[in-house]
Structure 1
Amino acid sequence: MPSDRLQRFRDRLALPLIAAPMFLVSGVELMVAACRNGVIGSFPTANCRGAEQLDEWLTEIEARLRRHEDQAGRRAAPLCPNLIVHRSNARLEQDLAVLLRHKPEIVITSVGSPAPVLKPLHDAGALVLADVASIRHAERAAEAGADGLILLTAGAGGQTGWLNPFAFVRAVRAFYDGIIVLAGGISDGRALRAAEVLGCDLAYMGTKFIATRESMADERHKQMLVESSADDILLTTAFTGLQTSMLRPSIAAAGLDPDNLPARGAINITADIDVAARDSRPKRWRDIWSGGHSTSGVTDVLAVEDLVAQTIAEYREAGGR
């Protein structure tokens, strides 16, 4: 059964789906397109250069969605900023202040406990979804009062989880009756319907939204996803110090050997490639790209409208409402 906390949004969603927040990928155009088409749009506040640009982004997105609602005669899906709550985020207070002024309906917290930001966000009327990668972290976020848990599972793109999604969802559902969002491996509407049967209220779709016309991703990144499969995804700690799913071809293109990377510890990209390649100064995320196991489901670069329509058809064929 869907969590009661989501009932207020049900008639605004074409699918029980969130366009995952992706660093250097999720921007204004992707958010507007996702929300217009009935998918919750999420983006990392870190994609903005600072609090001033974050305010500009939110103002523009909100205005464009209001115009769409006036023209279409129906409300768009919610917008959902993603806030890094780890103490290393020097912008946390400034970004939080911007969000509180704009009063988003949903906020995702990442890389730490949501506890420090829960009260102000709740007071502003936001549901707070906390992403977690272990049972213990799920328990702690639930105890803190998170409205929902985003379960980062094996197969998610970028910084990922390691638990099997079947085991993780069922273990968390045994003690938690709030919103559960599955993150990792959702490549089509059939997989989305399976997530619901498993006990989830929503799911992330990330990799397929990278390969959309509206995403901010480099066009080479989009094409690489089309040409790659799940076999081309490498799980490594070499670039961030955390388990991260990266595209092997992008690692090789940067002058590195995907099969001979350090076991742990962020690579100094410009120091670890040969001298002749240093002028190009490749950087992780900008030149070394992420992708999830659902890369096998990326067959073309689509407009968001077409991706959502295709996913709706698949979802309904699988028995979704």
Structure 2
Amino acid sequence: MLSKFAFLKNNIRVPVIAAPMFIVSNPALVVEQCRAGIIGSFPALNARGKDGESTLEDWLIRIKAGLCLPGSPSTFAVNQIVHPTNKRLMEDMELIVKHEVPIVITSLGARNEINDAVHSYGGFVFHDVTSNSYAKKAINKGADGLIAVAAGAGGHAGGQSPFALVQEIREWFKGPLVLAGCISSGRSIAAALTMGADFAYIGSPFIATSEANAPNEYKNMIVNGSAEDIVNTNVFTGIHGNYLLPSIEKAGLSIDDLEKSGIKENLLDTSKKAPKAWSSIWGCGQGISNINEVVETKTLIHHLARDFLVHYKN
């Protein structure tokens, strides 16, 4: 485990894994994240053409080519939704094995055969968890590391305090642990490591970068937003997540009325024309009050690294 874990920190400038964000994460963002000194990532389902066809192989080729350029970039990860509604799962896994993706992040389900496929070429598996019980199940299924998704994280988030979640997991798990939830500064990265995590998981700040595949209105909503603009609900996907309230209101929806109706959408159904997560109902974490402008990815990571070095005493 320790030898496998060591490669994760190759060429790392600051101990951060960029969270894979549905629609938002793309090859340009991932390459810039890696070249600036963190682990970049994207959801496999983001790689699709205008007609819905998979373009995952093209994305993998582009990212690997971008990381061959001079500059000693760090490694990258692909996120797989291990959920019955993901009809592309096994097809995408074949490409992941073919291209020997270094890190695979699994979400919404832990399966032995997925972990075994990644391990067949020496890859590393992180699994998203929102509780200690899910963490134990993930490790029992063969995951190598855990991503503890605490309260306040963007997108599908947990409901537990990061203090409680990390403490309970660290009582028995000594392997690689990543903490997610409201981490948007070097100070909060340092806090995550002090609590016992090995990496911080950062998503929402990267939405407000020039490389992100997000409308300017989405980026500006984050720049002008705060924790009070975030609402937690399960009405859009059937799973609780955090969203920008202004984006819900912009779509002409009332969160109170939606929750009273009890309607739950299929998280991977893109066939309907009504406002949907994540294309018009925008996901975001609570830790956005210090995001004050849209910047290049390398600039954001430079600021994170500089702030981290100031506050982390080790």
- For 2:198 and 2:57, the matched residues in 1 are separated by 30
Deviation per residue, 1:254-304 (Å, 9 max, x gap): 001234332543269xxxxxxxxxxx8433211111110112121111100
3-state SS in 2 of match to 1:63: helix
Name 1:285's counterpart in structure 2.
278
| Counterpart mapping for 1:88-107 below 5 A | 88-107=85-104
In structure 2, what is the equivalent of residue 22 of structure 1?
21
Q: 2: distance between equivalents of 1:3 and 1:318? A: 26
**Contact 2:97–2:117 under 8 Å retained in 1:** yes
The reply on whether 1:54 has 2:56 as its aligned counterpart is yes
Superposed CA offset, 1:65-109 (max 9, x none):
10x23xx3x2x1111000111122111110000000110111101
Counterpart contact for 2:146–2:177, Cα < 8 Å:
yes
Structure 1's unaligned 5+ residue stretches are 269-279
Does the C-alpha gap of structure 1 residues 45 and 320 become closer, same or farther in structure 2, counting only changes over 3 Å? farther
Asked whether the 8 Å contact 1:80–1:108 carries over to 2, the reply is yes
- Residue equivalent to 2:294: 301
Match of 1:133 among 130, 133, 149: 130
Aligned residue for 2:289, secondary structure, equals helix
Cα distance in 1 for residues equivalent to 2:185 and 2:217: 23
Distance 1:98 1:51 in 2: 14
The question of whether the paired residues in 2 share the 8 Å contact of 1:51 and 1:94 is answered with: no
- 1:1-321 map, 5 Å: 5-49=4-48, 52-66=54-68, 68-69=69-70, 72=71, 74=72, 76-263=73-260, 264-266=262-264, 281-319=274-312
Alignment partners' CA distance in 1, 2:241 and 2:10: 35
User: What's the CA shift for 1:320?
Assistant: 5.5
DSSP 3-state at the match of 2:287: helix
Cα displacement string for residues 222-280 of structure 1 (whole angstroms, at most 9, x for unaligned residues): 00001110000001111111111011101110001234332543269xxxxxxxxxxx8
Query: SS of the counterpart of 1:262?
Result: helix
Mark the runs of 5 or more structure 2 residues left unpaired by the alignment. 267-272
Alpha-carbon separation, structure 2, partners of 1:239 and 1:257: 12
**Cα separation, partners in 2 of 1:30 and 1:320, compared to 1, 3 Å:** farther
SS at match of 1:285: coil
Equivalent AA in structure 2 for residue 21 of structure 1: P
Deviation at 1:114, TM superposition (A): 3.6
Native 8 Å contact 2:76 2:103 kept in 1: yes
- What's the secondary structure of 1:295's corresponding residue? coil
Question: Is contact 1:39–1:77 with CA below 8 Å preserved after alignment?
Answer: yes
- Distance in 2, matches of 1:114 and 1:295, equals 34
Once the two structures are TM-superposed, the CA of residue 135 in structure 1 deviates from its matched residue by: 1.4
**3-state DSSP class of the match of 2:288?**
helix
Alpha carbons of 1:239 and 1:52: their partners in 2 closer, same or farther (altered >3 Å)?
closer
1: distance between equivalents of 2:117 and 2:67? 25
What is the CA deviation profile of residues 115-156 of structure 1, one whole-angstrom value per residue up to 9, with x for unaligned ones? Answer: 221111101111100111121110111112211011111000
Structure 2 CA distance for aligned equivalents of residues 136 and 26 of structure 1: 29
Query: Is residue 100–residue 124 contact of structure 1 (8 Å, CA) maintained in 2?
Result: yes
Larger proportion of helix: 1
**TM-score scaled by length of structure 2:** 0.92
Q: How many residues align?
A: 304
Distance across 2 between alignment mates of 1:51 and 1:107: 21
- CA 1:163 to 1:104, structure 2 compared with 1: closer, same or farther past 3 Å? same
Q: How high is the sequence identity, in percent, across the aligned residues?
A: 39
